Amino acid sequence: MKKSLIAVAVAGLFAAPVAMAEVTLSGAINLGIEIAKSGSAPANNFFGGGNPAVNSVTRTLLNANYSHVDLDSVDDIGGGNKIIFHYQLVAQPQQASGSANDFNRNSYLGVMGSWGAFKMGTNENVYERFMYQADPLEGAVGPGGNLMILGTPGAGTAFDQGQAACGVNGPGFGCIGFYRRTDQTIWYESPNFSGFSFEVDYTLSAFKTAPQAPAAADDPTVLSIGGKWQPEGAPFYVDVAYEKHDGLFALNAINGPGTATSSDDDAIQVGGGFTFGDWGLGARYEQLSYSTNATATGHMTKLERDAFWFAVKWTLPTGYVGAELGIADSWETSCVGGNAANTGCPGTDTGAKMFGIGYFHNLSKQSQLQFIYGRTDNETNASYTQAGAANGGQLGADHQVFHAGIKHTF
């Protein structure tokens, strides 16, 4: 439900009435108490990481998940075209540790018509949204969400934001996740062609840096393309997405600083869903591929990882139950110097399994109780994480989380 904001004070300052586009306010606040437990793990020197042994730790916390406040404005400019504005803020009911509150999320200015829409600003790219929208647990990056497995090869990564945060010229720690929100982005959204629609997102070279000898200039860019087929009234959908990262040095998140001067990372996913009666089923396959021109002995030059995801949703008179299972295969890697240089090649025992289940009880059209349980089981050399996990980057540590909260939309 949206509320109109009437800007009469500013208009009253002028001698003549000023026509103003209506602005609407909407959003969702999703806050709950979480109990998160990370298991113990022995010391592990996989890929030279030098991870010390850790004890099991359980902690409680408040998690706001995907809480946000949105401002929207539409201006009809004639000819079937409209200027559209959207501004979204993260809405944390409590201050997030180590980060600013109420920062910009998905925000844009654009124009739309029967030909589609062109937008520019900060974007949650189509590759990520296909995963997020297919998740039955009300938040793909939250407890038990599919982003605990999809979009990452592990490496303790739960979420990456923005191409500006990645390492440059190889010395920094890069961005490994394929679920990301980029700024400096332009994108096109197609109209619906008898059930088929597509989107193309591209980041501009705003973060390109001057050359640092002997390396070439860094130019971190992201290209995200996705298409979906869902005929009107059909009980099914199919989607496919591809995303390409240049200059984001993802393997540095595992290798550490090294000699790489370029990187090229690709991801592809294929998914679909089917609804019959009160039941909905979903499945998804993803392949991630990372490469770099590192020359330091023992450093990876290539990593590939496959993953599979399955979901079920059961609609009830009082709400619904959702559950999902994610399976990540072990890495296939190539390293400078081969296996003899480092026991981490070719990425043995780097797989994981994730299970999530939740019950969502409707209190009204706007408010909902949520109960979610998520669990991630890592193999010896894997570090997939879970929302709220204390030992998220520790190799071999398993994680569990239980969330009980309230979601209020407006």
* pLDDT tens digits along 49-107: 667 888 899 999 888 877 889 999 999 999 999 999 999 988 877 665 545 555 677 89
Q: What is the DSSP letter of 7?
A: -
Element (H, E) at 324: strand 319-328
In sequence order, what E strands does 91-165 have?
Answer: 107-113, 116-124
Q: Structure pTM?
A: 0.89
Q: What is the pLDDT of residue 156?
A: 75
Rounded to whole angstroms, the Cα distance separating 276 from 22 reads 40
Can you say how many angstroms the Cα of residue 24 is from the centroid of all Cα atoms in its chain? 26
For 190-216, the pLDDT digits (tens) are: 999 999 999 999 999 888 776 655 555
Q: Which of 50, 186, 56, 62 is nearest to 117 (CA)?
A: 186
Place of tokens 């010395």: 171
What are the counts of helices (DSSP H) followed by strands (DSSP E) for the chain? Answer: 3, 19
* pLDDT of 31 above 70: yes
Mean pLDDT estimate for the chain:
85
Question: Of the ranges 143-152, 245-254, 280-289, which one carries the lowest mean pLDDT score?
Answer: 245-254
For 102-158, the pLDDT digits (tens) are: 567 789 999 999 999 999 999 889 999 999 889 999 777 788 889 889 999 988 776
Question: Residues 6 or more apart from 149 whose CB is under 8 A from it?
Answer: 307, 309, 326, 327, 328, 352, 354, 376, 384
Helix, strand, or coil here: 202? Answer: strand
How much is the CA Rg of the chain, to the nearest whole Å?
23
Three-state secondary structure string covering 364-404: CCCEEEEEEEEEEEECCCCCCCCCCCCCCCCCCCCEEEEEE
Element (H, E) at 337: none
- Exposed (0-12), middle (13-18) or buried (19+): which is 13, by Cβ within 10 Å? exposed
Contact 346, 187 (CB under 8 A): no
Rounded to whole angstroms, the Cα distance separating 234 from 232 reads 6
* pLDDT of 319 above 70: yes
Q: What is the pLDDT of residue 256?
A: 72
In terms of average pLDDT, the best of 24-28, 267-271, 340-344, 380-384 is: 267-271
* pLDDT of 285 above 80: yes
Question: Per the structure block, which two tokens stand in for 304?
Answer: 């590939």
The residue ranking higher by pLDDT, 155 or 401, is 401
* pLDDT of 339 above 90: no
